[in-house]
Structure 1
């Protein structure tokens, strides 16, 4: 009997797989070298048609219960049930809730780690970390109920900064597990939003409790009402956006410095053949901050030259990249789907990973090259033998970082001759935040978001979009991101971005002021030219979506555009989402009052009643709702239509006459 021949593995078509040329080049190189990547696996492995619709339940061992797909135009009762009788709505809601819980846990555990390092710095237990931004500390402290002044002998005096820092650390850490009360940061939202959450009974009590309660409610035989499950999703996601993520951002700013705009570069072309290339990847910046400092030290530069290198080139992947970019100008080597490709260049001497969005296949790719793959977090190890684990400890951060950088330098000598770095990179202006947007669009004359609001009211800026999130190998890499972004700015919508969307925008040249004249409508182009900003403002990493919430809150405070986040001409988008974090982010934007569109699909379509609840009825409760649209142009147009609807409701849908102000008019303004 003849032996059965194995079929050749299916390989990705480089052009069909990615919209970006250096990625196409590296996919082609991977095929020549016989190295499998995520792009190839996406071709050979198709998603489960039932699971993608959210109607597969595996929460007990009687399952998995895979419900049949819904029939079009179901009239009357939906009779589909699992073994226990759980309906499609219950199963989809439970699955959705568990995604919210996992996403909130990921962001909030990141925040907890930062808070613990902050506590060590406040107690002066480590030489590696010190408070860099005292002003931000003084701004944040009152929101946590920490006084920055004290009254002595009838006189108000400033409190000692060390005392304030220690109390902030204690109060912040308590937000994860306090026994009573509510999250303190909820009151940073507009009063109308806070009152809405209070009325609906969805104010988070503490961060950890809301995550645990979702896991309890979704256990077999507990919560079987999709509306009640979504209520708990709301508590949990708000605990992420207005809790763990916001605390992470604030404490990182205090420890490492509040970002301000700077210039850098993006794409795989930032790597250098004659330098030691270290790629930092993940989401938690506490160790990477020290790696940057060590790699830039004269001692390490001399050590590298002694090994034959001309210097050390740092580059970043995913949100660790964004953290290092916005504070230090470290160039971004790529987004989520480019992580394997950085090693395939043959020039990556070490890839240092922490948590989240780190593919296990990196270990298999690294085996094919000289690259040292180093894990650094106690909760994120890999089973492969070629992976080195150097566990981060804030008390020995300098020693750990030095060991890692030296290991990369020593490995430079082991690099083979087959190196191919794509010669594609772009300039980017990044590092924006609530404070810098206020300065650029408000200036010292007003010191508020007045100028931004004024330009929205007069129509030069049509509205604001928050476009965030991952890449997804089920769609053409980068394409949906870029087409959504270009359609928005072409229609005078100012974009705030974070995460891999920010990296993608940078790679495609959209994060420079010059991009406004090429891609923007006349109103937004004019504002960008006058102010000198890009039409897309990069606000940082995934947890820094909290900056978008606070920027929107500042717009409400500046006046003229309503009293609630739901009143604003704003919309949210995650064009190529793929992680559970994205579902948590999406839900806290929706329940904060923001219309939010996801690309691809969300795992709710198999339960039409539940899907209608989150995509229609939620708007009546919170002012925001979910929507799904895979086509990038239609996706952006849905956002623009919503922005126009809000402009009409505010009575600003007609262009306002432009008036040249003389000195008397200026003097009449309240300053």
Structure 2
């Protein structure tokens, strides 16, 4: 009987095999002792579909699902696999792939739309909660959106009123989602050579929403059946995400909430405090969390917390809302995507407020085992469980909503019914880098360009640039691939730009401090980081802030000496532990922008070899970028380094340049 019971017991995750993070290991053990299942246990109990993971299962009509497994030994001769309607494996895989792009692009772009709506409210002065904080960024965005910042008065050029500019920017921005003709205005921010490639390939997005809707139409049963034509539409939608919805989200957030500049904070579950009210903000949209941060700092709110027995209020974040409030306010990051249940299992989470994207429904089940109040706030993101509170956010009543949420957390502090167990692990991080701050750190206000970065790439101290981004995936060991890839890159003198959960993972591993350069970097990158005073891994923000990487790469092109297009740069992109549709959209707009892009885990195209070869080889001829897949993190990083070395050779900078001491005459000749 004992053996029978043991056989029926659900399989549990081995904490050490599940994650490299000691804090997470401790919380997984605690969850198992309390008989609470987590994503790590469920990953052991449910294995992925072998056919679906290859991208060759079609369920786009009720005659299916049609599954087209690869024959043993692979394809020999003609591939004769067909669904009931005759759709080939290439058609099915391409449809599934671009539907993932549509899902990811819609998530990021709808985020951007929500920010644009709040921006419009602020521009119209309909709320006191939001105002323009960065007028310099507003003027830069106005130029990109073709909004005049000056006006002719009696033959004299004068600056326009800032409120007028803000209102016109808001209108122009909102128009990008659904204008009836033309193309996205931000496409012109790309290097001219890249813009010309998009024109030649016929992939310039017309507006953001149309490209997503057209994907859904084309992938309906019996419409587009050519994998090349399908991925062409996928490219339009992905570009509309990276150079449209995501970029607008980032820019408008910077204008409203302030453009980030480097600041110090901490990361991991150890940032929570037993004697404080712990309010955790989780999700992706910062429009509410910005106000929560402001409300939680009010003296009367802190006094209210003390009246309930707490010493204060400890805010912390999970996922990209964490990155948003970190980069502007220094609020510590408590957890990555896979740690969200573990934050509640500490027993110290008095409230978790969530908005959109990457919110596990099982949070409600875990919260039932503790005193935690789980609060949903977005009209498109509710949970069915009866223990979840829904306080729908309205930007016109933002402060009232935030006060209500913060007071719920405070009132719940006295209701803790389980022993608090907060892991001690936490690490210092420097975050808040962006296009502007990188420019300042490398060149200062005097020089004001990316010349210093380019010069150090050309002379070989910096081998190249890597954008390493993305989620966690329970099918891999939590954070291991993230950290292994990044360490391998910086060891080989590749500077890393990071966003999203990769950034949080790097913070937890101590890679986001200038001091880490002396421990983990090759000699060239170490010298640059120590001279300039920056970490070897630069935290650029949330997942919509991948658009900062696109613009940083564009600035490198503008600075000169490294080619005329992003595809000329010794640079590569990576998502070592990706899991969401957003990652596929991000990956594809990186590819379409000219980046060699490597994904870990798997890629849902392997069951259609012809289509897989097309996106991993043929797209390079159109855009200069291409897909690749490598689950092994060391090999993954080495693929990126090999690509960077190939680009260095093509640029003729594959040999390190000796340092030359120059007198004034030499400098004058150089400038001439």
Shift of residue 70, structure 1, vs aligned partner: 3.9
Check conservation: 2:205, 2:236, Cα contact below 8 A: yes
User: Aligned equivalents of 1:70 and 1:149: distance in 2?
Assistant: 66
User: Aligned equivalents of 1:363 and 1:223: distance in 2?
Assistant: 41
Shift of residue 443, structure 1, vs aligned partner: 1.8
User: Aligned equivalents of 1:641 and 1:226: distance in 2?
Assistant: 29
Check conservation: 1:483, 1:632, Cα contact below 8 A: yes
Are positions 1:243 and 2:236 aligned together?
no
Q: Residue deviations 1:356-392, cap 9 Å, x none?
A: 0000000000000000000000000000000000000
Q: Residue deviations 1:622-668, cap 9 Å, x none?
A: 10000000000000000000000000000000111211123444455
Check conservation: 2:370, 2:418, Cα contact below 8 A: no
Aligned to 2:434: 433
Check conservation: 1:70, 1:606, Cα contact below 8 A: no
User: Aligned equivalents of 2:211 and 2:71: distance in 1?
Assistant: 31
Check conservation: 1:93, 1:230, Cα contact below 8 A: yes
Aligned to 1:126: 127
Shift of residue 211, structure 1, vs aligned partner: 0.0
Check conservation: 2:348, 2:416, Cα contact below 8 A: yes
Q: Residue deviations 1:510-531, cap 9 Å, x none?
A: 0000000000000000000000
Aligned to 1:75: 76
Aligned to 2:490: 489
Shift of residue 68, structure 1, vs aligned partner: 2.1
Pair 377,537 (structure 1): closer, same or farther in 2 beyond 3 Å? same
User: Aligned equivalents of 2:73 and 2:661: distance in 1?
Assistant: 59
Aligned to 2:553: 552
Aligned to 1:213: 214
Q: Secondary structure at the match of 1:232?
A: helix
Using the TM superposition, name which of 439-448 and 59-68 deviates more: 439-448
Using the TM superposition, name which of 146-155 and 72-81 deviates more: 72-81
Q: Residue deviations 1:535-582, cap 9 Å, x none?
A: 000000000000000000000000000001100000000000000000
Q: Any residues of structure 2 matched to 1:560-579 within 5 Å, and which?
A: 560-579=561-580
Aligned to 1:406: 407
Aligned to 1:155: 156
Aligned to 1:323: 324
Aligned to 1:95: 96
User: Aligned equivalents of 1:628 and 1:51: distance in 2?
Assistant: 17
Aligned to 1:268: 269
Shift of residue 3, structure 1, vs aligned partner: 14
RMSD after superposition: 1.3
Are positions 1:362 and 2:357 aligned together?
no
Q: Residue deviations 1:37-61, cap 9 Å, x none?
A: 0000000000000000000000000
Q: Any residues of structure 2 matched to 1:522-561 within 5 Å, and which?
A: 522-561=523-562
Shift of residue 621, structure 1, vs aligned partner: 1.1
Aligned to 1:252: 253
User: Aligned equivalents of 2:286 and 2:599: distance in 1?
Assistant: 27
Q: Residue deviations 1:446-503, cap 9 Å, x none?
A: 2100110000000000000000000000000000000000000000000000000000
Q: Secondary structure at the match of 1:319?
A: helix
Shift of residue 669, structure 1, vs aligned partner: 5.3
Aligned to 1:283: 284
Check conservation: 1:123, 1:166, Cα contact below 8 A: yes
Aligned to 2:107: 106
User: Aligned equivalents of 2:71 and 2:107: distance in 1?
Assistant: 32
Check conservation: 1:56, 1:91, Cα contact below 8 A: yes
Aligned to 1:394: 395
Q: Secondary structure at the match of 1:349?
A: strand
Shift of residue 154, structure 1, vs aligned partner: 1.3
Using the TM superposition, name which of 610-619 and 62-71 deviates more: 62-71
Q: Secondary structure at the match of 2:485?
A: helix
Check conservation: 1:70, 1:607, Cα contact below 8 A: no
Shift of residue 74, structure 1, vs aligned partner: 2.2
Shift of residue 76, structure 1, vs aligned partner: 2.6
Check conservation: 2:272, 2:334, Cα contact below 8 A: yes
Aligned to 1:415: 416
User: Aligned equivalents of 2:294 and 2:587: distance in 1?
Assistant: 35
User: Aligned equivalents of 1:670 and 1:115: distance in 2?
Assistant: 43
User: Aligned equivalents of 2:10 and 2:21: distance in 1?
Assistant: 24
Q: Any residues of structure 2 matched to 1:513-528 within 5 Å, and which?
A: 513-528=514-529
Are positions 1:51 and 2:56 aligned together?
no
User: Aligned equivalents of 1:500 and 1:171: distance in 2?
Assistant: 32
Aligned to 1:86: 87
User: Aligned equivalents of 1:668 and 1:436: distance in 2?
Assistant: 30
Shift of residue 439, structure 1, vs aligned partner: 0.7
User: Aligned equivalents of 1:663 and 1:646: distance in 2?
Assistant: 33
User: Aligned equivalents of 1:193 and 1:620: distance in 2?
Assistant: 12
User: Aligned equivalents of 1:463 and 1:534: distance in 2?
Assistant: 15
Q: Residue deviations 1:231-277, cap 9 Å, x none?
A: 00000000000000000000000000000000000000000000000
User: Aligned equivalents of 1:385 and 1:165: distance in 2?
Assistant: 42
Q: Residue deviations 1:331-373, cap 9 Å, x none?
A: 0001000000000000000000000000000000000000000
Pair 4,425 (structure 1): closer, same or farther in 2 beyond 3 Å? closer
Aligned to 2:630: 629
Are positions 1:60 and 2:57 aligned together?
no
Shift of residue 405, structure 1, vs aligned partner: 0.1
Aligned to 2:581: 580
User: Aligned equivalents of 2:91 and 2:160: distance in 1?
Assistant: 53
User: Aligned equivalents of 2:443 and 2:336: distance in 1?
Assistant: 32
Are positions 1:499 and 2:486 aligned together?
no
Aligned to 2:11: 10
Aligned to 2:605: 604
Shift of residue 417, structure 1, vs aligned partner: 4.8
Q: Secondary structure at the match of 1:157?
A: strand
Q: Residue deviations 1:212-231, cap 9 Å, x none?
A: 00000000000000000000
Q: Secondary structure at the match of 1:313?
A: strand
Q: Residue deviations 1:57-76, cap 9 Å, x none?
A: 00000000011224435233
Check conservation: 1:101, 1:236, Cα contact below 8 A: yes
Q: Any residues of structure 2 matched to 1:583-594 within 5 Å, and which?
A: 583-594=584-595
Q: Secondary structure at the match of 2:235?
A: helix
User: Aligned equivalents of 2:367 and 2:317: distance in 1?
Assistant: 17
User: Aligned equivalents of 1:365 and 1:76: distance in 2?
Assistant: 52
User: Aligned equivalents of 1:108 and 1:575: distance in 2?
Assistant: 23
Aligned to 1:234: 235
Shift of residue 435, structure 1, vs aligned partner: 0.2
Shift of residue 152, structure 1, vs aligned partner: 1.1
Check conservation: 2:456, 2:462, Cα contact below 8 A: yes
Aligned to 1:650: 651
Check conservation: 1:259, 1:433, Cα contact below 8 A: yes
Using the TM superposition, name which of 247-256 and 76-85 deviates more: 76-85
Q: Secondary structure at the match of 1:466?
A: strand
User: Aligned equivalents of 2:305 and 2:664: distance in 1?
Assistant: 60
User: Aligned equivalents of 1:59 and 1:50: distance in 2?
Assistant: 16
Are positions 1:378 and 2:410 aligned together?
no
User: Aligned equivalents of 1:80 and 1:36: distance in 2?
Assistant: 40
